[in-house]
Amino acid sequence: MKKLRASSKVGHNSKIGHNSQMGQNSKMGHNSKMGHGLWMGHDLNIGGRSAGKCLLALGLTCALSLGLVSCGQKDAAKTDTLKIGLTVYDDSDTFLSQITEEIRSRAKEDSGPMKITVSAKGADGSQRTQDEQVEELIASGCNILFVNLVDRTDPSNIIDLARDNNVPIIFYNRELVKEDLMQWDKLYYVGAKAGQSAELQGQEIAAYIAAHPEVDSNGDGKIQYVMLKGEPGHQDAIIRSEKVVETLLAEGVELDKLSYEVANWSRAQAENRTSQLISEYHGQIELLISNNDDMALGAMDAYDQSNMTQNGRPAIFGIDGTKETLEAIRAGKVQGTVMNDATGQADAMMDLAERIFQGKDLSKLPLLNGKYIYIDYTIPQEN
């Protein structure tokens, strides 16, 4: 099997220290993800190329000898089994865990004459770990990779490995730039259009305010709002944040931005940030717009912990349509969300993987430019 080349490996690692996702995000300072990012930067400075390569090789040897690899030992000649190797940026992410579950259940359903196995790994927010995982998955005989990049601007090591070993990749959810996707003809992307989720969220909020004028609790004709943002540099965080405001303005809602906080998609971080916002703005916040549902739930947790009465609480809106958020909407604690279709995305990935594996015509699939499948967001009935 062809391994990572030291040159590309180390060259790309140098990006990580300055990387917009990790570098800019001073708020992730205490987070284990940032720890990895810093460590990678140091490794580059101290260790140079050969150290990076050795570590990687050592990691692979250990993984193999400890029997950690689970795609089944390599038997390249036998290709009757579709062996999917999946790596996700962080396996504690709620929405992505939903996608993994959907993929597992589709694999079970479709396993018949064609056997399908799924071997899934979480990269704990480290691109270096993910690169190593891809190497392990390929070494263990996976014949299709599902990759949810840690750093969507740094897929080159993974692409080189896959191309050298002729293993197609379906990237998902964290969208890489087009130039990277064009590097090889067996690279694909499955995801959703961030702008669409924000438009739907904006329309929902505007409709909610029209139906509940009491949202403007100080009666000044403007909506005092705060925003909780996902990871800096993530297409969904950037585009959702801009577009929801644009949509609200276009819907004629007058806005007064009080503040925003970055909470990296995380419920715990959102609870913490929202508690700070509550103590800073007391009852002034009328609307809380969150880039995803887990952070909306974190905001809800913060209000539950505060001694704020129901009247003092803002209207809270998320995106994803997770089970727990739909329940919170039914309980009146969150006001709305947008469905990010985990089942639809998992199905699209499986349809594509199965067809690639069987050498079937891909033109039957809704592939844009032969590369992209985008699944629509929708408004759930709970809203």
- What are the residues binding ligand GAL (CB under 6 A)? 93, 95-96, 173-174, 234, 236, 265, 292, 294, 319-320, 340
- Residue of 68, 206, 208 lying closest to 139 (CA atoms): 68
Q: How near is the Cβ of 166 to ligand GAL at its closest, in Å?
A: 28
Among 109, 214, 220, 246, binds Ca ion (CB under 5 A): 220
Q: How near is the Cβ of 174 to ligand GAL at its closest, in Å?
A: 5
Q: Which residues have CB under 8 Å from 50's CB, separation 6+?
A: 6
CB closer to ligand GAL out of 216 and 324 = 324
251 is a contact residue toward Ca ion (CB under 5 A)? no
Give CA separation, 78 vs 67, 73, 371, in Å.
Answer: 21, 11, 27
Query: Which partner in Ca ion, ligand GAL, none is near 109 (CB below 5 to 8 A by kind)?
Result: none
Q: How near is the Cβ of 236 to ligand GAL at its closest, in Å?
A: 4
Question: Distance between CA 320 and CA 13 in Å, rounded?
Answer: 32
CB closer to ligand GAL out of 157 and 266 = 266
With contacts defined by CB under 5 A, name the span among 96-104, 214-222, 240-248, 356-364 that binds Ca ion.
214-222
Query: Which partner in ligand GAL, Ca ion, none is near 218 (CB below 5 to 8 A by kind)?
Result: Ca ion
Q: How near is the Cβ of 318 to ligand GAL at its closest, in Å?
A: 9
Q: How near is the Cβ of 230 to ligand GAL at its closest, in Å?
A: 6
Query: Which partner in ligand GAL, Ca ion, none is near 265 (CB below 5 to 8 A by kind)?
Result: ligand GAL
Q: How near is the Cβ of 95 to ligand GAL at its closest, in Å?
A: 3
- Cβ atoms 152, 176 nearer than 8 A: yes
216 is a contact residue toward Ca ion (CB under 5 A)? yes
Maximum CA extent, the chain: 72
Q: For residues 29-58, which are near Ca ion according to CB under 5 A?
A: none
Mutual angle of helices 293-305 and 94-110, in 10-degree steps: 130
- Residue of 34, 5, 82 lying closest to 350 (CA atoms): 82
Q: Which two tokens stand for residue 76?
A: 């390249």
212 is a contact residue toward Ca ion (CB under 5 A)? no
- Cβ atoms 133, 374 nearer than 8 A: no
CB closer to ligand GAL out of 320 and 354 = 320
254 is a contact residue toward Ca ion (CB under 5 A)? no
217-228 burial: b if 16+ Cβ within 10 Å, else e: beeeeebbbbbb
Query: Which partner in ligand GAL, Ca ion, none is near 216 (CB below 5 to 8 A by kind)?
Result: Ca ion
Q: How near is the Cβ of 362 to ligand GAL at its closest, in Å?
A: 24
Query: Which partner in ligand GAL, Ca ion, none is near 353 (CB below 5 to 8 A by kind)?
Result: none
CB closer to ligand GAL out of 131 and 341 = 341
Give the gyration radius of the chain's Cα atoms: 22
218 is a contact residue toward Ca ion (CB under 5 A)? yes
Query: Which partner in ligand GAL, Ca ion, none is near 243 (CB below 5 to 8 A by kind)?
Result: none
Query: Which partner in ligand GAL, Ca ion, none is near 173 (CB below 5 to 8 A by kind)?
Result: ligand GAL
Q: How near is the Cβ of 184 to ligand GAL at its closest, in Å?
A: 23
DSSP 173: S
CB closer to ligand GAL out of 75 and 327 = 327
Distance of CA 110 to the CA centre of its chain: 26
Q: Between vectors from CA 298 to CA 296 and to CA 301, what angle results, nearest 5°?
A: 115
Q: How near is the Cβ of 249 to Ca ion at its closest, in Å?
A: 15
The H or E element containing residue 48 is helix 32-65
Q: For residues 137-196, which are near Ca ion according to CB under 5 A?
A: none
- Cβ atoms 224, 218 nearer than 8 A: yes
CB closer to ligand GAL out of 96 and 316 = 96
Question: Distance between CA 298 and CA 46 in Å, rounded?
Answer: 39
Q: Which residues have CB under 8 Å from 181's CB, separation 6+?
A: 171, 187, 188, 189, 371, 372
- Residue of 59, 52, 46 lying closest to 13 (CA atoms): 52
Binding site for Ca ion (CB under 5 A): 216, 218, 220, 222, 224
